[in-house]
């Protein structure tokens, strides 16, 4: 096996540039997802797909992220963090170029799917690397810092994508994704150090079986998937719902959706500042905030005001921002010798649920607003039930 890198062996924690690099790589995945939100008003004008295709542009990307994470987790634990991130970025670059050069809806969706498959490594490797270098409250704090950058990408992407598409055409945001993936690929080739500990378990059937049977993985994966579901649903059907219910223009919609997601950064900041608080407490508090946000989102059915939409989405994002780093910290601390697989397991459930919910919300024979509210409420209720009720049911058996 590859020996632990000099950085891990000597310092035990990454230097600031290393953490900044890991955060930048991790930020590629949400940036690639949310670029479709800013593009939707442009694509609705005629290029190159209908409403179902626009929802699918979000869903197939998230599906690629979900399906790619098991392979990335296996590779990260089997062959190392460095080769896994390099291979993933190369695949993502090919997919991003295919999407940017697409002449029709099928090619665009294929490019989005391949991009998601490749960028799945960006969801696995940075977190596994942090687990290699940290433990306890330091791990939770570094996860929160990583997630702050992870939050900035979806916040700025919708208005940026909309502006670029207005100025240069719908391909421009997709070209930007390809360029950023290439830049991170060069940075990874030059500076990504191997951090996989020598004690890491080589993945096999027993490793995956252990993940499936571990209660913390089961609870946490389902709870995170429920808390994150509104993000995917709003990305797929939120622009149409906002335009229909409030009459807001495309620019305001992109700004509102991006700006409200700054709440994700606020949630991460709370976890960073309160890193000594157990992850399980953060999970409970975060899910409660998401629940309040969903209640306000339901209220928009009666009072479809822009400010109420903004408040509801911001609270959902804050709760999601608290749950996200706490969930990964919880699972990675329970399975330190399977950091790659553990990250992949929770991420696969998270992204696959998001992909399915986005696709369904964009395809339901309901008004976009009703579809967003009903799907988000259903998934959040399921996530809360998994966290608060699942352990009670297990303890009774």
DSSP annotation string for 355-373: HHHHHHHHHSSS-HHHHHH
Share of the chain above pLDDT 90, in %: 33
* For residue 84, pLDDT beyond 90: yes
* Average pLDDT over every residue of 68-94: 93
Nearest to 260 by CA among 187, 159, 356: 159
**Global pTM value:** 0.73
Assigned domain for 392 exists: yes
Assigned domain for 342 exists: yes
* Average pLDDT over every residue of 54-63: 76
> Where is pLDDT greater, at 71 or 20?
71
Q: Round to whole Å and give the CA distance between 25 and 344.
A: 16
Least confident of 5-9, 74-78, 133-137: 5-9
Q: Round to whole Å and give the CA distance between 92 and 28.
A: 10
* For residue 323, pLDDT beyond 80: yes
Assigned domain for 4 exists: no
Residues 6+ positions from 94 with CB-CB distance below 8 Å: 114, 118
What pLDDT, on the 0 to 100 scale, is given for residue 372? 94
* For residue 269, pLDDT beyond 70: yes
Q: Round to whole Å and give the CA distance between 331 and 339.
A: 9
Assigned domain for 3 exists: no
> What is the DSSP secondary structure assignment for residue 203, as one 8-state letter?
P
At 170, the pLDDT band (50, 70, 90 cuts) reads confident
> What is the DSSP secondary structure assignment for residue 248, as one 8-state letter?
-
Share the mean pLDDT of the chain.
83
80 phi-psi bin (left φ>0, alpha ψ -120 to 50, beta other): left
How many domains are contained in the chain? 1
> Where is pLDDT greater, at 315 or 194?
315
* For residue 33, pLDDT beyond 60: yes
What pLDDT, on the 0 to 100 scale, is given for residue 48? 52
At 96, the pLDDT band (50, 70, 90 cuts) reads very high
Are the C-beta atoms of 154 and 30 separated by less than 8 Å?
yes
* Average pLDDT over every residue of 81-106: 91
Query: What tokens does 249 get?
Result: 């223009």
Tokens 């390099």 belong to which residue?
A: 86
* Average pLDDT over every residue of 329-351: 82
Query: What tokens does 156 get?
Result: 């700025």
Assigned domain for 319 exists: yes
What pLDDT, on the 0 to 100 scale, is given for residue 44? 52
* For residue 395, pLDDT beyond 60: no
Query: 3-state DSSP helix/strand/coil percent for the chain, to nearest 5?
Result: 85, 0, 15
Assigned domain for 102 exists: yes
* For residue 370, pLDDT beyond 90: yes
Q: Compute the chain's Rg from CA coordinates.
A: 20
Chain segment 216-228, per-residue pLDDT in tens: 888 999 999 999 9
What pLDDT, on the 0 to 100 scale, is given for residue 371? 92
What pLDDT, on the 0 to 100 scale, is given for residue 49? 53
Query: What tokens does 332 get?
Result: 């990675």
Chain segment 107-123, per-residue pLDDT in tens: 888 999 999 999 999 98
What pLDDT, on the 0 to 100 scale, is given for residue 4? 39
Q: Round to whole Å and give the CA distance between 100 and 140.
A: 37
* For residue 174, pLDDT beyond 80: yes
CATH number of the domain that residue 360 is part of = 1.20.1250.20
What pLDDT, on the 0 to 100 scale, is given for residue 55? 66
* Average pLDDT over every residue of 54-79: 84
Q: Round to whole Å and give the CA distance between 129 and 134.
A: 9
DSSP annotation string for 280-309: HHHHHHHHHHHHHHHHHHHHTTT---HHHH
What pLDDT, on the 0 to 100 scale, is given for residue 12? 42
What pLDDT, on the 0 to 100 scale, is given for residue 37? 60
Assigned domain for 264 exists: yes
> Where is pLDDT greater, at 284 or 143?
284
Nearest to 372 by CA among 313, 320, 314: 313
Q: What is the per-residue burial (b if ≥16 Cβ within 10 Å, else e) of 287-298? A: bebbbebbebbe
Q: Round to whole Å and give the CA distance between 306 and 298.
A: 13
Q: Round to whole Å and give the CA distance between 21 and 338.
A: 23
> Where is pLDDT greater, at 225 or 269?
225
In terms of residue numbers, what domain contains 247?
A: 9-396
What pLDDT, on the 0 to 100 scale, is given for residue 38? 53
Nearest to 240 by CA among 40, 92, 379, 96: 40
Assigned domain for 354 exists: yes
Residues 6+ positions from 228 with CB-CB distance below 8 Å: 320, 323, 324, 350, 353, 354
Q: Round to whole Å and give the CA distance between 41 and 61.
A: 18
What pLDDT, on the 0 to 100 scale, is given for residue 59? 76
């Amino acid at each position: 096996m590859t020996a632990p890198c000099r950085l891990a062996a000597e310092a035990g924690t990454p230097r600031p540039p290393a953490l900044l690099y890991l955060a930048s790589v991790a930020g590629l995945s949400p940036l690639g997802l949310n670029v479709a939100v800013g593009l939707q008003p442009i694509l609705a004008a005629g290029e190159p797909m209908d409403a179902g295709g626009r929802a699918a542009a979000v869903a197939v990307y998230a599906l690629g992220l979900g399906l790619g994470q098991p392979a990335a987790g296996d590779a990260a634990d089997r062959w190392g963090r460095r080769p896994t991130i390099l291979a993933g970025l190369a695949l993502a670059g090919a997919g991003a170029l295919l999407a940017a050069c697409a002449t029709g809806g099928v090619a665009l969706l294929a490019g989005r799917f391949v991009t998601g498959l490749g960028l799945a490594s960006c969801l696995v490797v940075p977190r596994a690397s942090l687990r290699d270098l940290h433990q306890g409250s330091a791990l939770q704090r570094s996860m929160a810092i990583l997630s702050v950058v992870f939050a900035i990408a979806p916040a700025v992407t919708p208005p940026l994508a909309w502006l670029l598409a207005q100025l240069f055409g719908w391909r421009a945001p997709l070209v930007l994704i390809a360029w950023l993936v290439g830049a991170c690929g060069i940075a990874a080739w030059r500076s990504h150090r191997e951090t996989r500990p020598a004690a890491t378990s080589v993945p096999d059937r027993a490793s995956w079986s252990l993940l499936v049977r571990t209660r913390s993985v089961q609870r946490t994966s389902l709870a995170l998937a429920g808390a994150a579901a509104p993000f995917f649903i709003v990305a797929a059907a939120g622009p149409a719902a906002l335009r229909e219910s409030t009459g807001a223009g495309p620019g305001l919609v992109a700004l509102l959706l991006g700006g409200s997601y700054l709440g994700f950064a606020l949630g991460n900041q709370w976890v960073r500042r309160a890193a000594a608080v157990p992850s399980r407490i953060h999970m409970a508090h975060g899910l409660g905030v998401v629940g309040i946000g969903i209640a306000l989102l339901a209220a928009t059915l009666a009072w479809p005001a822009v400010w109420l939409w903004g408040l509801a989405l911001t609270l959902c994002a804050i709760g999601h921002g608290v749950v996200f780093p706490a969930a990964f910290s919880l699972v990675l601390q329970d399975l330190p010798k399977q950091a790659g697989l553990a990250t992949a397991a929770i991420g696969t459930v998270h992204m696959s649920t998001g992909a399915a919910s986005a696709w369904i919300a964009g395809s339901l024979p309901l008004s976009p607003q009703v579809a967003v509210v009903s799907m988000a409420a259903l998934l959040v209720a399921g996530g809360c039930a998994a966290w608060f009720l699942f352990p009670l049911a297990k303890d009774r058996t």
